[in-house]
Amino acid sequence: MPNEFTRRVRDVIRSIPRGKVASYGQVAASAGDSRQARQVAWILHSSSEKAGLPWHRVVGSRGKISLVPSRGGREQRRLLESEGVRFDRSGTIDLGKYGWNPAGIKISVLARLDLDKLTED
């Protein structure tokens, strides 16, 4: 049975809108533990947990697909492109355009707030 964190991760991923992407770390943070980016990856890696999820909307923090092309990467890119997400020549997604921003906070503001440092204490 999935634990609490796993359930939350699934909820978060389910709430990523079509045509948007979120990073593993972002999903982990939204699920309550910003240190669990790798666990998010693990959850998606185990196929049983990702059933029914828009798993393709989760990418690396730099806007690149983390999967090796031959092991799902091509499929992920195809799914994203079918939702209107564009890739540049080097296979990178413009997170400014397609990055999911649940709070609707302006990117420039986010950068200046430096949320990690604020929540560290």
Partner DNA sequence: CCTATGACAGACA
Partner DNA sequence: GTGTCTGCCATAG
Q: Which amino acid is residue 90, in one-letter code?
A: S
Measured distance CA(9)–CA(76) in Å, rounded: 19
Q: Shortest Cβ distance from residue 106 to DNA (Å)?
A: 18
Distance of CA 34 to the CA centre of its chain: 12
User: Which of 10, 24, 80, 95 contacts DNA by CB under 7 A?
Assistant: 24
Tokens of 15: 């709430």
Q: Based on CB atoms, which residue is closest to DNA, 14 or 62? A: 62
Q: Shortest Cβ distance from residue 84 to DNA (Å)?
A: 19
Locus of tokens 């209107």: 84
Q: Which amino acid is residue 93, in one-letter code?
A: I
**90 part of the interface to DNA, by CB under 7 A:** yes
User: Which of 16, 67, 80, 95 contacts DNA by CB under 7 A?
Assistant: 67
Interface with DNA in residues 94-113 (CB under 7 A): none
Helix axes 37-45, 4-14, angle to 10 degrees: 80
What does the chain come to in residues?
Answer: 121
Q: Shortest Cβ distance from residue 99 to DNA (Å)?
A: 11
Which residues in this chain contact DNA in the complex, by CB under 7 A? 3, 6, 23-26, 35-42, 44-46, 50, 55-56, 58, 60-62, 66-67, 72, 76, 90, 92, 116
